[in-house]
Structure 1
Amino acid sequence: MKKRIALLMAAAMAAASLAGCGGGTSTTADTTAGSAAEDTTAASSGNAGGDTKLTMSWWGNQVRNEKTQAALDLYAEQNPGITIEGQFSEWSDYWNKLATSAAGQAIPDLVQMDYSFIDQYVKNGLLVDLKPYIEDGTLDVSNISENTIASGTVNDGVYAICAGINAPSLLYNKTLLEENGIQIKDYMTTDEFMDVCRQVYEKTGYKTNIAYYNAGAYLDYFMRGYDVVLYGDKKMGGTVNDYLPFFQMYETGIKEGWFIDPGVFAELSIGSVEQEPLVYGSGPETMSWCAFYNSNQLTAIQKAAPEGMEIGITTWPSADPKKSGYLKSSMFFSVGAHTKNPEEAVKVLNFLTNSSEANNILLGERGVPASSVISEELAPKMSDVDQEVIRYINEVVTPNCSPINPPQPDGASEVSNLLNQVQEQLCYGAYDAATAAEEFFNGANNIMNKK
């Protein structure tokens, strides 16, 4: 067990090194440093008078910290004898501290969980199976879609409940494109997307950033369009030839001049919303007309955009965007396996998921609420940008998407890191597309075979 926890800590540190790009998961709006958390303490304990103390940990920014603690305080107010201590930190510190608490058999009662870590935490016996509490009604999921529930399912158990729904989203400079008569439609194929890239470059000089050094999530999405699941059992899905179109897209952009110069990123924090080339740069040569993010990042990108720039939102391109598209939890809530009060912890989780009062405080900060009832209630109270995200989720993605792939297995962070390295070699001209595909596929299989 100690060895497995050590591996988990190593994986946390590897993922943290990719945190600027989310390691294919979270981006800066979800990882902005908040107040540093105190060292994680024992999961739960009874204090004087028989009262129950719970702990809940999450990563996030100051807005999330304040809203979450206010919702937890409301639960405590409505349930005398319960106190809930919030523990929060920025992304990289969060995973290191959570792994340390797991090693000490003191994982918090409630934890914010990421899709890329669920499988590892379940395999290490660190999360409570919520299925019995769903079956007995303690946790109400009647207003949550089956696809959303499936995203927190490992084997036959439900180990995480969606804290907010998002979806892969191409964010773009809507003002620039409209001024130049360039049309953007939902569900663009890869070929249609590249045609837009050419038009934008020819008419405006603006280039295209296709998830440079942050391509793990996009590769997963891209391969779904060819009916290839990225990760198999201790191997990569598909064959080396299946990966060729992905790298050919980059090669084409480099040859035709519309792909952004990778040197632009040398002094940028990759994945930082504020330094995203969509909204940051000195002019067309150093800027991109689009960015590959998730829908819950629209607000942050719009806030970071220069005055007068409206940001649009559409689907990522692929050979078949409806096959590729999926609803994804921006993050999850889970119950830690070391809790002494699992039922009470589940009741808190139910409160955060289904209470109108709680969600009037949270206001969809983690993404569109998983409960359709709650999301409908909140929509009129939210900003125009947030309402646009809800529209995108409900009207564009939900009717035309497929179930998300299983959680990423051990080794996925290393594979993503390899992809970034291969992509860099391709963009700097050291590899052609065929070489890049071969280097990535063989290297990724070597990583997965050792897991």
Structure 2
Amino acid sequence: MLHRKTHATRRRVLAAALALPVLASVAACGDGGDDDGSGSGKAVELSVFWWGAEERASLTEKALALYTERHPNVTFKKTWQANQGYFDKLATLTAGGNAPDLFQIDDNYLAEYATRNVTLDLNPYRSDGELDVSKFPESLYQYGVVDGELAGVAMGENTQGLVFDKTLLDRHGLPAPTTGMGWEDHIAWAERVSKTAKVPGTQDPSADYKAFWVWLRQQGKDLYKGKQLGFTEQDVTRWFELWKGARDRGATPPPDVIHEGNVTDISKQLVVTGKAATSWVWANQMPELKKNTDDELGVVAYPGDPSGQWARASMYLSVFRGSPHRDEAVDVINFLVNDPDVAQVLGTDRGLPSNMEVRRKLADAVDDPAMKQSIRVEDDLADKFGPAPSVPPAGHSDVKKELLKAAEEVQYGRQQPAQAAAMYFAAAKSAVGQG
């Protein structure tokens, strides 16, 4: 599956043609047509850039070392850093024509980089069978398509997860939340937890775009409709009013603690610091959460109809369109997403393996109870997921930031829901270039 072809293919012709606009600015890197590693055995060094903590760096380096073990002529120049500042650095590198051959990206920026012709269209490789996504859920691979081009390959599948402190609930004889519980029912449950356990029942997710997005889909709407917003100012007002009501009933923490949950990293989420009985996170973050508490944790879908959730690409690997080693870079992606030995190395750090066969083998082999929970909840939801939305348009990261700002205006009582909703809607429209 991983052997590269030595003859010219339709895929190479297309890839080279697509690369011409970018290659004009990166001529020093080569003309892109000289395929150094297409079976010639010539030494190739691929630059790879990703974000994450030290553990992710260690796991990624082990996976890349496994590739080099099987392809000794290919080595890697590895660079990683924390999430903060990652995309600033990537933007600087691409603007100067010095982008890494392979880079990690997420759905906040995939459309932006694709529409700027930074990412290589991987469809020709898929058509030629050199990039195999046949064992991915179709909606997962489609979540990397931007304007008809496959701009990135999902490194893993993820979905939204409501994580709760099972030990706390059991101690007070309280029931656990369940998948399918309505939003009002969830708030009533959280109010009961607050009164009985003397711990706020739920983190307030009004600033969390993940929760807002699921809630919108359950109303028959979406965060985006094409390259425009898929919701109205009135929708935002209803969302803010829902959570103002929850705060007024004592179902959530006070504003300063809510803010802490809004801005902290995963290791300090309120469900593990004991400041709330639930946190709104990604399902694959269960292992990292569990490292930071002695309590037993559980995870279910977000409230409401679970079809509002979908098989989301946790993050992608993309190839720089101007890379002189495009074929090798694609081959590395193919290896990372389809090799079962790689899955044993990476685990669920970037989400569940996209390849369903590989995922099943991993599920049988893992010993970590929290990782098993992550796998189980997504498997349980697999037949309940709705269709994936399109990849968010350019400006998505600002849409998220503006929601946080507007929601906190309401959380702190500085604005009423309708005022903050108007402010947010105007800012969100501006972020996506909607007139």
TM class, shorter-length: 0.7 to 0.9
Aligned to 1:339: 323
Q: Find out whether 1:295 has 2:295 as its counterpart.
A: no
Q: Is the 8 A contact 2:109 2:396 kept in 1?
A: no
Q: Secondary structure of 1:278's partner? A: helix
Q: Secondary structure of 1:188's partner? A: coil
Offset from partner CA, 1:20-49 (integer Å, 9 cap, x none): xxxxxxxxxxxxxxxxxxxxx9699969x9
The one-letter code of the counterpart of 1:251 is: K
Aligned to 2:420: 436
CA distance in 1, matches of 2:430, 2:48: 38
Q: Secondary structure of 1:364's partner? A: coil
Among residues 109, 122, 128, which one is paired with 2:120 in the alignment?
A: 128
Aligned to 1:69: 61
Q: Secondary structure of 1:399's partner? A: coil
Q: Shift of the alpha carbon at 1:67?
A: 1.8
Aligned to 1:24: none
Offset from partner CA, 1:139-190 (integer Å, 9 cap, x none): 1112111011111111212111111111100011111223323232112221
Distance 1:161 1:211, change over 3 A: farther
The one-letter code of the counterpart of 1:220 is: W
Count of aligned positions: 401
Q: Secondary structure of 1:405's partner? A: coil
Q: Is the 8 A contact 1:278 1:291 kept in 2?
A: yes
Among residues 158, 162, 168, which one is paired with 2:160 in the alignment?
A: 168
Q: TM-score, normalising length from structure 1?
A: 0.83
Offset from partner CA, 1:271-292 (integer Å, 9 cap, x none): 32232221215xxxxx111000
Q: Secondary structure of 2:219's partner? A: coil
Q: Shift of the alpha carbon at 1:420?
A: 1.5
The one-letter code of the counterpart of 2:376 is: R
Q: Shift of the alpha carbon at 1:212?
A: 5.1
Distance 1:412 1:357, change over 3 A: closer
Q: Shift of the alpha carbon at 1:446?
A: 4.0
Q: Find out whether 1:246 has 2:230 as its counterpart.
A: no
CA distance in 2, matches of 1:358, 1:50: 24
Q: Is the 8 A contact 2:63 2:346 kept in 1?
A: yes
CA distance in 2, matches of 1:268, 1:433: 20
Q: Is the 8 A contact 2:310 2:386 kept in 1?
A: yes
Among residues 360, 364, 373, which one is paired with 1:380 in the alignment?
A: 364
Deviates more, 1:58-67 or 1:288-297: 58-67
Aligned to 1:304: 292
The one-letter code of the counterpart of 1:391 is: R
CA distance in 2, matches of 1:73, 1:349: 14
Aligned to 1:367: 351
The one-letter code of the counterpart of 2:154 is: C
Q: Shift of the alpha carbon at 1:315?
A: 0.8
Q: Shift of the alpha carbon at 1:218?
A: 1.8
Offset from partner CA, 1:79-125 (integer Å, 9 cap, x none): 23221222111112322221111011121111111111100000110
Aligned to 2:429: 445
Q: Shift of the alpha carbon at 1:235?
A: 4.1
CA distance in 1, matches of 2:377, 2:327: 35
Q: Shift of the alpha carbon at 1:436?
A: 3.0
Q: Shift of the alpha carbon at 1:210?
A: 3.8
CA distance in 2, matches of 1:82, 1:436: 53
Among residues 55, 58, 67, which one is paired with 2:47 in the alignment?
A: 55
Aligned to 2:300: 314
Aligned to 1:275: 268
The one-letter code of the counterpart of 1:378 is: L
Structure 2: any 5+ residue segments left out of the alignment?
A: 1-27
Aligned to 1:356: 340
Q: Is the 8 A contact 2:166 2:176 kept in 1?
A: no
Q: Is the 8 A contact 2:261 2:270 kept in 1?
A: no
Q: Is the 8 A contact 1:170 1:316 kept in 2?
A: yes
Among residues 379, 386, 389, which one is paired with 1:394 in the alignment?
A: 379
Distance 1:289 1:86, change over 3 A: same
The one-letter code of the counterpart of 1:149 is: Y
CA distance in 2, matches of 1:141, 1:239: 36
The one-letter code of the counterpart of 1:321 is: P
The one-letter code of the counterpart of 1:355 is: D
Among residues 226, 229, 236, which one is paired with 1:236 in the alignment?
A: 229
CA distance in 2, matches of 1:356, 1:234: 37
CA distance in 1, matches of 2:301, 2:218: 13
Among residues 102, 107, 110, which one is paired with 1:115 in the alignment?
A: 107
Q: Shift of the alpha carbon at 1:213?
A: 7.6
The one-letter code of the counterpart of 1:241 is: Q
CA distance in 2, matches of 1:450, 1:375: 40
CA distance in 1, matches of 2:74, 2:176: 54
The one-letter code of the counterpart of 1:91 is: N
Distance 1:50 1:238, change over 3 A: closer
Among residues 148, 166, 172, which one is paired with 2:140 in the alignment?
A: 148
Q: Is the 8 A contact 2:29 2:324 kept in 1?
A: no
Q: Secondary structure of 1:313's partner? A: strand
CA distance in 2, matches of 1:379, 1:234: 37
The one-letter code of the counterpart of 2:403 is: L
Q: Shift of the alpha carbon at 1:358?
A: 2.2
CA distance in 1, matches of 2:409, 2:207: 14
Q: Secondary structure of 1:70's partner? A: helix
The one-letter code of the counterpart of 1:176 is: L
Aligned to 2:16: none
Deviates more, 1:181-190 or 1:218-227: 181-190
CA distance in 2, matches of 1:386, 1:268: 23
Structure 1: any 5+ residue segments left out of the alignment?
A: 1-40, 282-286
Distance 1:119 1:249, change over 3 A: same
CA distance in 2, matches of 1:274, 1:118: 26
CA distance in 2, matches of 1:272, 1:342: 35
Distance 1:449 1:114, change over 3 A: closer
The one-letter code of the counterpart of 2:372 is: Q
Deviates more, 1:216-225 or 1:439-448: 439-448
Q: TM-score, normalising length from structure 2?
A: 0.86
Q: Find out whether 1:87 has 2:73 as its counterpart.
A: no
Q: Shift of the alpha carbon at 1:330?
A: 1.4
